[in-house]
DNA sequence: TTCGAAGTGGTACTCAGTACCGTACCGGAC
DNA sequence: GTCCGGTACGGTACTGAGTACCACTTCGAA
């Protein structure tokens, strides 16, 4: 970023970028599993040890930029006005989700590669879930600080993630479709006037042996 | 289960049970990371190779019984009457979630150990997410077959999982509290009469630079 | 009893991830 | 410019997960 950054830090950032770039090139060429950390280190012209100094494990490099995005989002969310009810919290989170979509799809090509990697590697999907769970936790804490009850704070971020996940599933890796699909999912939440468990199910005629 | 099962199958089932039992004992004693597959194999009195023949990897053994539960649930869900609207789908899923809670907490001790492992090992939490994602996918397919639109089918299971996750977060590993917390989360969905993104957020006074 | 099929466990390998250590380099003080 | 302390680097060596292969045993059916 800054030109007036200590040389040491600039070198670090450069090394980091080289590693990410090398890794994505290789993953794109051969897929995640067929690339070894040694391969990445060689192409990035760093030592194998150095790779692990920058990234905790091989998967981490796939999510290297999500980290910053998520932190920026939770930062902005923290600054929002107080909320107490579920609907209000979700209205805020709808905006957060919209921003998240925009950030993630900003570089369409990168997003597509990223999605392809997730599609082809279950263990990367797992790892992505960790990021989202972490985001949920942060948002939950923020909501608590801003007046929400424990129940609302626990539920709202999970619901927002659900909308995001549903949109993601429907978009199926297409960065053009994602934002609309996610927003539509939020809009659908309005249809939930009365979700009465036993009543509705009984009324629908099934599951009598509860 | 059956007494009149071919010897070969009985042996297999026995080996499987021995492995699971040995693994949980060891995990309970030393934690997940400090137990090697070789340790498990030795205590279970099988070869290391055999372990991997029964379980794809070390993590899989932690979720060995979830598999059956999830399949039974999706089986029952498939047999439910048709639904088209989101509220109806969620009413059905509320019952599924309730059953899931009951199944998971049936053996309180096992549940507690399981939760402890998840709490202490992020990579196991990741893996648990995979199971839930898989369940979502199955439920989504079921809903599609029973008349739901693509949007409803994608969103409803994700919302149900969100309620489950929120309940789980609030219950914090206590099998007594879990069912009530999950059910309360479903009940809360009724509060979502109007989740109007820009309107509600604008009205709340924040995020003007959208 | 015999034969084929399937399961078992051992050996040997690759690769992820960790610990350790000598070396090179940056940044500040003189 | 030079020296020095701290920090990052890369190399070596190790453990453990997961895979491939293979000889051996055992079950079940003819």
| pLDDT tens digits, B24-48 | 999 999 999 999 999 999 999 999 9
Whether chain B has a CB inside 8 Å of the CB on A162: the answer is yes
The answer to whether B187 contacts A197, with C-beta atoms less than 8 Å apart, is yes
| A126/B130 CB distance under 8 A | yes
A86, A154, A184 member nearest B169 (Cβ): A154
Comparing CB atoms, the residue among B83, B90, B195 nearest residue A94 is B195
Average of pLDDT values for B186-203?
A: 62
Indicate if the pLDDT at residue B110 is higher than 50. yes
Residue of B nearest to A80 (CA): B206
Q: Please determine, for residue B184, whether its predicted confidence score (pLDDT) is greater than 90.
A: yes
Kindly list the residues from chain B whose CB atom is less than 8 angstroms away from the CB atom of residue A184. 151
DSSP string, chain B: --SSS-HHHHHHHHHHHHHHHHHHHHHHHH-STT--HHHHHHHHTS-HHHHHHH-SSTGGGGGTTHHHHHHHHHHHHHTSPP--SHHHHHHHHHHHHHHHHHHHTSSHHHHHHHHHHHHH-HHHHHHHHHHHHHHHHHHHHHHHHTT--HHHHHHHHHHHHHHHHHHHHHHTT-TTTHHHHHHHHHHHGGG-S---HHHHHHHHT-----
- Res A58 pLDDT > 60: yes
Quote the tokens at residue A17. Answer: 């970028």
Segment 116-145 of chain A within 8 Å of chain B by CB: 122-123, 125-127, 129-130, 133, 136, 140
Query: How crowded is residue B119: how many other Cβ atoms within 10 Å of its Cβ?
Result: 12
- Chain A residue numbers with beta carbons less than 8 Å from the beta carbon of B200 are 87-88, 91-92
Does A186 sit within 8 Å of B195, measured CB to CB? Answer: yes
**pLDDT exceeds 80 at position A197:** no
* A125 vs B contacts (CB less than 8 Å): 129-130, 133
pLDDT at A203: 33
Which letter, b or e, does each residue of B46-81 get, where b requires 16 or more Cβ atoms within 10 Å of its Cβ? beeeebeebbeebbebbbbebeebbeebbeebeebe
Residue B133 has pLDDT above 50, yes or no: yes
CA nearest to B132, candidates B109, B104, B165, B106: B165
Average pLDDT over residues B180-192: 92
- The pLDDT tens digits for B46-79 are 999 999 999 999 999 999 988 889 889 999 999 9
């Amino acid at each position: 970023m800054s030109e007036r950054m200590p040389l040491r830090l600039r070198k670090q950032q450069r090394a980091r970028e080289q590693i990410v770039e090398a890794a994505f090139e290789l993953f794109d060429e051969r897929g995640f599993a067929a690339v070894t950390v040694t391969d990445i280190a060689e192409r990035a012209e760093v030592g194998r040890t150095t790779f692990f100094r920058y990234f905790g494990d091989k998967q981490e490099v796939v999510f290297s930029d999500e980290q910053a995005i998520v932190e920026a989002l939770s930062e902005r969310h923290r600054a929002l006005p107080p909320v107490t009810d579920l609907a209000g919290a979700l209205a805020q989170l709808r905006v957060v989700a919209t921003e998240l979509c925009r950030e993630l799809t900003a570089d369409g090509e990168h997003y597509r590669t990223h999605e392809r990697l997730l599609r082809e590697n279950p263990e990367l999907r797992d790892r992505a879930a960790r990021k989202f769970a972490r985001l949920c936790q942060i948002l939950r804490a923020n909501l608590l600080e801003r007046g929400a009850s424990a129940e609302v704070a626990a539920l709202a971020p999970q619901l927002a993630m659900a909308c995001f996940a549903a949109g993601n599933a429907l978009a199926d890796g297409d960065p053009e479709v994602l934002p609309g699909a996610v927003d539509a999912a939020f809009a659908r939440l309005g249809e939930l006037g009365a979700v009465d468990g036993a009543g509705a199910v009984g009324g629908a005629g099934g599951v009598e042996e509860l």
